[in-house]
């Protein structure tokens, strides 16, 4: 039951973040709001179907990325933090690249692919750094209480 609750939460988090990212992209581009990239919408007979597919992809990304975080809770002495981070990065970035390609977030050419990869890697790096510093602060506080 606990796992089902997590999956449901990850589903809605993925849908929410995906929808918010889509809205923010519309604001940045400044050509009005589009519920999805026009090239993606054109693949379907109607917008309702396209948005439904997009939401399911957002839900899937939410589940995959939510579950990816569990690799850090199963730390063993054989894997370093760097190795776990590399695995986590792959679990986060590869599905995003596939979703981004399918949803037409970037063109299928090398410069667009590299640009998108750099963008999501940069976001990953910022989030990772924030988490790292927060954990480091917590460890300092625990050590202060123990010492």
pLDDT one-digit tens code per residue, 97-146: 999 999 999 888 999 999 999 999 999 999 889 988 988 898 999 999 88
CB 86 within 8 A of CB 51: no
Q: Count the alpha carbons within 13 Å of 110 in the hemisphere toward its beta carbon.
A: 0
From CA 40, how far away is CA 59, in angstroms rounded? 17
Encoding tokens for residue 120? 């999501």
Encoding tokens for residue 22? 């889509």
- For the entire predicted model, the pTM comes to 0.84
CB 11 within 8 A of CB 59: yes
Name the domain count of the chain: 1
Q: In terms of residue numbers, what domain contains 101? A: 2-146
């Amino acid at each position: 039951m606990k796992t089902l609750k997590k999956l449901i939460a990850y589903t809605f988090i993925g849908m929410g973040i995906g929808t918010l990212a889509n809205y923010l992209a519309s604001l940045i581009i400044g050509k009005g709001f589009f519920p999805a990239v026009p090239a993606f919408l054109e693949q379907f007979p109607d917008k309702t179907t396209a948005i439904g597919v997009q939401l399911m992809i957002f839900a899937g990304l939410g589940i995959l990325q939510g579950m990816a975080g569990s690799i850090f809770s199963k730390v063993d002495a054989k894997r370093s933090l760097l190795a776990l981070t590399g695995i986590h990065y792959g679990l986060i970035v590869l599905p995003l690249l596939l979703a981004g390609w399918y949803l037409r977030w970037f063109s299928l050419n090398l410069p667009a692919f590299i640009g998108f990869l750099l963008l999501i890697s940069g976001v990953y790096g910022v989030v990772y750094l924030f988490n790292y510093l927060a954990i480091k602060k917590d460890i300092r506080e625990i050590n202060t209480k123990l010492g």
